[in-house]
Amino acid sequence: MEIFLIILLVIAASCVGTMTGFGTSTIMVPALLILYPMPMEETLLFVGVIHWFGNVWKIILFKRGFDWKLILSFGVPGMAAAWLGAKLVFEMPKESLSRILGGFLVAYVVFLFAKRSFRVRPNVVTGACGGALSGFFAGIFGIGGAVRGLFLTAFDLPKEVYIATAGVIALFVDTTRLGTYVSEGTWFTELPVWGFLLFIPASFAGARIARRVVDRIPQEHFRKVVAVFLLLLGLKLLLAP
C-alpha cells in the first residue's frame, strides 16, 4: 500500500512540477516525511533521483529550444551552492532542518500571496543570484524549483523554452547534490531499491500527462493549489517536526 501511495505521489508531483516549472520536490519532500517516515538524507536522495529523471523528461518532451545564456548563469552558481547545501545536511540536527524547512515553506506561501505582482529584474546578476539561492535550497532541503521559478519568470521566456531551460539547470544542480549525498554515505535502507522500477516510469507518466494539458490549463491555478498544500505541510513541519 505504501509503495502504491508513493507511485501516485510521484505521478501527481511530476505532473504539477512539469506544468508549473516547480513542484516535484516541493510536494514530495514534505509528503514523504509524513507518509513514509525515513531519515532526512534518504528522503532527499530518493526525491532527488525522481527529480533528476523528471528533468530528463522535461528536456525530451519540451526540446524546441533552450536559453544557454540562462543555463550557464543559473547552472554554474547553482552547482556550487547545491554542493554546499548538501554538505550542511549532514552537519545540522535533523529536527532543526525540519523546522527550517517548515518555516521556509510557510514564508514562501505568505510571500507568494502577499506579493503576487513581485518580479525581479532580468539580467546576468539575477541569473547568478537565482541559481545560487535555488541550488542551495535544493541541496539542503531538496526544494529549489520554487526559488528558481521566481527568478526565471523575470525573463519572460516562451512556456516550452522556460520548461526546457529550467530542466537543464535543475539537472546540473541535481547531479551535484545527488553525488554529494552518496559520497557522504547516504543510501536506501528504508525504501526498497526495486521500487524505482515503478517510480521512474511513474515520473514519466506524470510528465506525459503534463505535456498533454500544459497549453490548456492556466498555470496560475496550479500554483495556487501547490501553495495551499505547501502552507499546510509547512505548518506541520514547523510546529511538529
| Each residue's pLDDT tens digit, 203-232 | 999 988 887 876 665 655 655 665 676 677
Q: Which domain holds residue 90?
A: 2-239
pLDDT recorded at residue 233:
66
Higher pLDDT, 32 or 229: 32
Q: What is the pTM of this model?
A: 0.78
- Measured CA to CA, the distance from residue 104 to residue 134 in angstroms comes to 13
pLDDT in tens, 89-119: 888 876 787 788 778 778 877 876 776 666 6
Do 153 and 130 contact (CB within 8 A), yes or no? no
In terms of C-beta density within 10 A (0-12 exposed, 13-18 middle, 19 or more buried), how is residue 216 classed?
exposed
Task: Provide the strand spans (E) within the chain.
Answer: none
Q: Measuring CA to CA, which residue among 209, 204, 183 is closest to residue 53? A: 204
Q: Measuring CA to CA, which residue among 139, 193, 199, 163 is closest to residue 10? A: 199
DSSP 154: G
